[in-house]
Structure 1
Amino acid sequence: MFDKNRYITRGVKEEIGLDIQILIWSYIDALKKRKDINVDYLQVFELNTINRNDIFNQKLVHKQELAPYEKLYLLNVEEPVNKKVYVIDEGDYSTMLLAEEY
């Protein structure tokens, strides 16, 4: 799962920084390596800006429903955003899209 071609939608390209896109793919890759979790075809990333912190400016929560999983990341990125991003594995390819594009 999540091993073949990877695509992003126009919305992701326009609204999510490349640094965050790369991190999202890397978090999925890290999850795949874990032996204790079955990776769901739908990965959810909730992105929220942090305004009251001098070190971090982006909160990212990575989760899935089947084989429940949730992990919080605090990041310092160039352009923090408030968005929900889905990454869906379709077998032959995976697509990263904004929740509103679903």
Structure 2
Amino acid sequence: MFNNPKYLTKGVQSTIPGWLVILLWHLIAIMPVEHKDYLQVFRLRQTATGQHITHTQEQPQYQYELDIPCTDSMSAKIFVIDDGTHSTMLLAEEY
């Protein structure tokens, strides 16, 4: 899973900075778990110094948090869904 072609919805393309999209794909790639759930969830929150990211999955349970200093932080909830043939990153409101 998640080794398939990667796609972004129009909402992600128009809203999420490119560096952040690349970082989210990377966070999935480096997950230290034996099995990656088909659904990855990212909660993005602006902080005084930059971007706070919480990355979770349900099965097996996984959570990782990261703070990145930056000037273009944002708040959003993002899903990454892998259906076995491709992976799609979308804003929660696009689901």
Structures share fold, TM-score greater than 0.5 = yes
- TM-score normalized with structure 1 length: 0.88
Shift in Å at residue 78 of structure 1? 4.3
Shift in Å at residue 28 of structure 1? 0.5
Report the Cα distance in structure 2 between the residues aligned to 1:98 and 1:72, rounded to whole angstroms: 19
- Which runs of structure 2 are paired with 1:13-52 in the superposition (5 Å)? 13-31=13-31, 34=32, 36-51=33-48
Count of matched residue positions in the alignment of Structure 1 and Structure 2: 95
Q: Which residue of 2 aligns with 1:95?
A: 88
Shift in Å at residue 79 of structure 1? 1.4
Identity of aligned residues (%): 39
Q: Does 1:74 align with 2:67?
A: yes
Name structure 1 gaps, 5 residues minimum.
none
Q: Does 1:2 align with 2:7?
A: no
Give 2:40's aligned amino acid: Q
Name structure 2 gaps, 5 residues minimum.
none
Which of these two proteins has the greater Rg computed from alpha carbons? Answer: 1
Give 2:37's aligned amino acid: D
